[in-house]
Amino acid sequence: MRRSALIVAAIALLFLAPFGLDTLQLRVAIEIVYFGLFAVCFNLLFGYSGMLSFGFASTFGVGGYAVGLIWKHFGAVPLPLALVIAALAGAVVGLVIGFFCVRLRGTYFSLLTLAFSQFLFAVALKWRDVTRGDDGLTVTPPDLTLPGGFVLHMGNASHFYWFELAIVLICLWLAWRFIRTPLGNAALLMRENDERAAFLGYNVFGTKLIVFTFASTLAAVAGALFASFQRLVSPGALDLQMSTEVVFMALFGGTGAFLGPFLGTAAYILLQNWLAKTTEHWPFVIGFLFVVMILFMHTGLVGLFGRGGPIQRLLRLHRPAVEESR
C-alpha cells in the first residue's frame, strides 16, 4: 500500500516537472526520459538475459525512421498510431535480427549484433532515395488532440514532455510486467546457464527470441520519441556511437535492477552536459569513469547505493548482527 502510494507520488512529481524547470533543463529531462527507456530495453537483454548487444541502436534507429517515413508519406497520421507502427517495425526488425543472433552466445552474439547494426547503418547512409542519407530525414510529428478537446502541441517542450512521459511509463510498465512472467523468469535462468535451461525442457531459442523482439519493440518506441523530439532522424540514430552510449548509460546505472539503467541514463546525460561545458575532451572522462566503474563497482550506481551496497553497509555499521540474522 505504502509502496504504491510512493509510486503514484513519484509519477505525479514527474508530470509536474515542467513547472519547476526552465526550457533548457526541460529539454535535458526529455532526453533522459527517452534514452532511459532505451537503456532499460538494453538491460532486458543484457541484465536479464545475458545478451550483450553492441548494435542495439539498430532498432532504436528503425523506430525513428519509421515515424519519419510515416509522416512524410502519409501526412498527419495521429501520434499514437505512428508510435504503434514504429513499434511494429521495431518488432519485425528485432525478430529478423534476433532470429540469427540469439542462437549465438557471449562474444559471438555481440559481434553479430554489431554486424547487423553496421549493415543497417550502411543502408541508412546509402539508400538516399528513402532515407536521404547523411542529410537525415525531417520528422514532423502532428499535434495531438486529447479526448477532452485539449491539444498537445508537439513543438511545445512541456506538451512533448507530458506525452513522452505517458508513453514511456506505459512501456516501462509493460517491460516490468514482461520480466515477471514465467517467460521472464526463464530468461533469467538462461542468463545463468542456458545449457541447463535446455535440459530442463525450456525452449532456449524461442525464449531468447521473444525477449530480443520485445526489447527491440520498445527500443523502437524510444527511437520514435527521439526522432519526434529532434525533428530529424539521420544515420547517427543507429550508428556505433549510439550503441556505445546505451551501453554506458545502462552500465553506469547498474544492470542488476529494473530501473538501474534509467538512473544511469539520468546520471550519464547530466554528467555529459556538465562535462561538455568544462572540457571538449569529455568523452575521455566518460571512458575513464567507465573503466574505473567496471574495475571497482561493476554493479553501477544501484550497486553502490542499493540494498547491501557499500553506502548502506557504511550507514548501518553499528548493527551488522541484525542484518546477518535475517
Report the nearest approach of another protein to the CB of residue 250 (Å). 10
The site for another protein (CB under 8 A) is made up of 46, 50, 52, 100, 103-104, 106-108, 110-112, 114-116, 118-119, 122-123, 126, 240, 244, 247, 251, 281, 283-284, 286-288, 290-291, 294-295, 298
**Which residue, 185 or 244, is less far from another protein as judged by CB?**
244
Do 18 and 10 contact (CB within 8 A), yes or no?
A: no
Report the nearest approach of another protein to the CB of residue 117 (Å). 9
> Which residue bears the cell 505517458?
166
DSSP 8-state assignment for residue 225: H
**Which residue, 187 or 286, is less far from another protein as judged by CB?**
286
Closest of 228, 229, 244 to residue 287, by C-alpha: 244
**Which residue, 237 or 293, is less far from another protein as judged by CB?**
293
Do 45 and 215 contact (CB within 8 A), yes or no?
A: yes
Report the nearest approach of another protein to the CB of residue 103 (Å). 8
**Which residue, 111 or 166, is less far from another protein as judged by CB?**
111
Report the nearest approach of another protein to the CB of residue 215 (Å). 16
Report the nearest approach of another protein to the CB of residue 104 (Å). 6
At 181 the three-state DSSP class reads coil
Q: CA-based angle 41:155:172, to the nearest 5? A: 20
Phi-psi region of 262 (alpha: psi -120 to 50; beta: other; left: phi over 0): alpha
**Which residue, 183 or 285, is less far from another protein as judged by CB?**
285
At 149 the three-state DSSP class reads coil
User: Per the structure block, which three cell numbers stand in for 80?
Assistant: 499514437
